[in-house]
């Protein structure tokens, strides 16, 4: 049994213009010590998937169904109090923009201490010692001084490190990192991804890395699940997926990854067109309006997610099946 198993997750939002089917039957699993990337453009459902796992979506407007199990325990069936204990203690989360998640009027040390105190009953002196240890762990230089500083006094990279310290404060078994490096420059991005790898190596933490950028997954992840229009449309081991993508959308995302020289010459490929409106019913393949290989058959019949090679699934009529349905 995998540490986290998501089975047939569906999340729908009520909107004034109809039901938005943001996540439609998504399944995946993550083992201890493994990193799974969930990749796709914005609006493809990847962040809604992570917020559904954490049950952080507004309960009035959003409804999730399916199964999300942590060591066999179904998180969607827990009471809010039980779920609160899971957040932070068992699953930690890092968001894209630390300034909106950190409290601007509390020192960094106070925020990390408060987070630890929420989950553990220990003395103030021990809290301060643990907070300092966490800032050290995430590579904040001169941590004793930084403990007394406020978020606006730190650089973007340092703030993201504080967010990681907060997410790791109670040693969760799973870390969900939602676009953790998008707002950072390339050098700091690489440092943050290296930090996540180090933490995983040392603590065996499972990581779900959510990103729109296939360029960051190569060295950081074991497997990649690609989402499009609320569905998983491809999944494989990272090396396999990067070397041999089966879905035209994944190939489009790969072509959009800047490589040395290509971006500078201004020839970065873009996938033309837009993600379909998920409030409207759709016949056929959801990528057909943007796919260079689309046929009339594609526009009429939605492809199923099928095994295309060992450990490699994709939802595309033109990718040869391997002898089974995923
Ligand atoms: Fe393109 Fe057809 Fe494959 Fe959809 S099923 S991705 S439209 S080739």
Pairwise CA distance, residues 70 & 3, whole Å = 6
Q: What is the CA radius of gyration of the chain?
A: 21
* Tokens encoding 62: 């959003």
260 DSSP β-pair partners = none
Give the pLDDT score at 210. Answer: 94
User: In the chain, what percentage of residues exceed pLDDT 70?
Assistant: 94
- Work out which ligand 1 atom sits closest to the CA atom of 294: 7
Question: How many angstroms is it from 252 CA to the middle of ligand 1?
Answer: 12
Q: Given a cut of 90, is residue 203 above it in pLDDT? A: no
Q: Given a cut of 90, is residue 156 above it in pLDDT? A: no
Pairwise CA distance, residues 33 & 205, whole Å = 5
Residue with the bigger pLDDT between 148 and 257: it is 148
288 pocket-lining for ligand 1 (C-beta < 6 Å) = yes
Calculate the CA 135 to chain-centre distance: 23
Question: How many angstroms is it from 48 CA to the middle of ligand 1?
Answer: 24
316 pocket-lining for ligand 1 (C-beta < 6 Å) = yes
Q: What is the mean pLDDT of residues 236-256?
A: 94
Q: Given a cut of 80, is residue 38 above it in pLDDT? A: yes
318 pocket-lining for ligand 1 (C-beta < 6 Å) = yes
Mean pLDDT of the chain: 89
Give the tens place of pLDDT for each residue, 108-151.
Answer: 999 999 988 887 788 989 999 999 988 988 888 999 999 999 99
Pairwise CA distance, residues 326 & 323, whole Å = 10
- Does pTM surpass 0.95? no
Q: How far is CA 147 from CA 85, 157, 238, in A?
A: 26, 16, 38
312 pocket-lining for ligand 1 (C-beta < 6 Å) = no
Question: How many angstroms is it from 288 CA to the middle of ligand 1?
Answer: 6
Q: Given a cut of 80, is residue 185 above it in pLDDT? A: no
* CB-CB neighbours of 134 under 10 Å: 26
Q: What are phi and psi of 26, to 5 degrees?
A: -90, 135
Pick the residue whose CA is nearest to atom 5 on ligand 1.
316
Q: Given a cut of 80, is residue 268 above it in pLDDT? A: no
Q: To 10 degrees, what angle do helices 186-203 and 156-168 make?
A: 20
Question: How many angstroms is it from 37 CA to the middle of ligand 1?
Answer: 23
Taking alpha carbons only, the member of 26, 36, 41 closest to residue 305 is 26
Band of the pLDDT at 314, cuts 50, 70, 90?
A: very high
């Amino acid at each position: 049994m995998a540490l986290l198993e998501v089975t047939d997750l569906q999340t729908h939002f009520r909107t004034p213009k109809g039901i938005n089917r943001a996540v439609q039957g998504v399944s995946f699993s993550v083992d201890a010590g493994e990193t799974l990337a969930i990749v796709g453009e914005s609006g493809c459902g990847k962040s809604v998937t992570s917020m559904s796992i954490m049950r952080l979506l507004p309960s009035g407007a959003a409804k999730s169904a399916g199964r999300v199990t942590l060591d066999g325990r179904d998180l969607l069936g827990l009471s809010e109090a039980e779920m609160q204990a899971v957040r932070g203690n068992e699953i930690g989360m890092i968001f894209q923009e630390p300034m909106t998640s950190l409290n601007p009027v509390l020192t960094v040390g106070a925020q990390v201490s408060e987070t630890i105190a929420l989950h553990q009953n220990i003395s103030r002196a021990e809290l301060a010692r643990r907070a300092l240890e966490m800032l050290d762990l995430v590579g904040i230089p001169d941590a004793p001084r930084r403990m007394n500083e406020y978020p606006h006094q730190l650089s973007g990279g340092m703030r993201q490190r504080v967010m990681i310290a907060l997410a790791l404060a109670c040693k969760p078994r799973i870390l969900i990192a939602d676009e953790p490096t998008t707002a950072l420059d390339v050098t700091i991005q690489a440092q943050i991804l290296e930090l996540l790898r180090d933490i995983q190596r040392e603590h065996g933490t499972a990581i779900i890395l959510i990103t729109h950028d296939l360029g960051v997954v190569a060295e950081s992840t074991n497997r990649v699940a690609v989402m499009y229009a609320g569905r998983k449309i491809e999944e494989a081991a990272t090396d396999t997926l990067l070397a041999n993508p089966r879905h035209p959308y994944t190939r489009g995302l790969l072509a959009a990854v800047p490589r040395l020289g290509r971006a500078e010459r201004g020839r970065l490929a873009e996938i033309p067109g837009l993600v379909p409106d998920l409030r409207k019913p759709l016949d056929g393949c959801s990528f057909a309006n943007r796919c260079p290989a689309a046929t009339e058959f594609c526009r009429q019949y939605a492809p199923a997610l099928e095994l295309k090679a060992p450990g490699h699934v994709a939802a595309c009529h033109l990718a040869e099946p391997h002898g089974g349905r995923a």
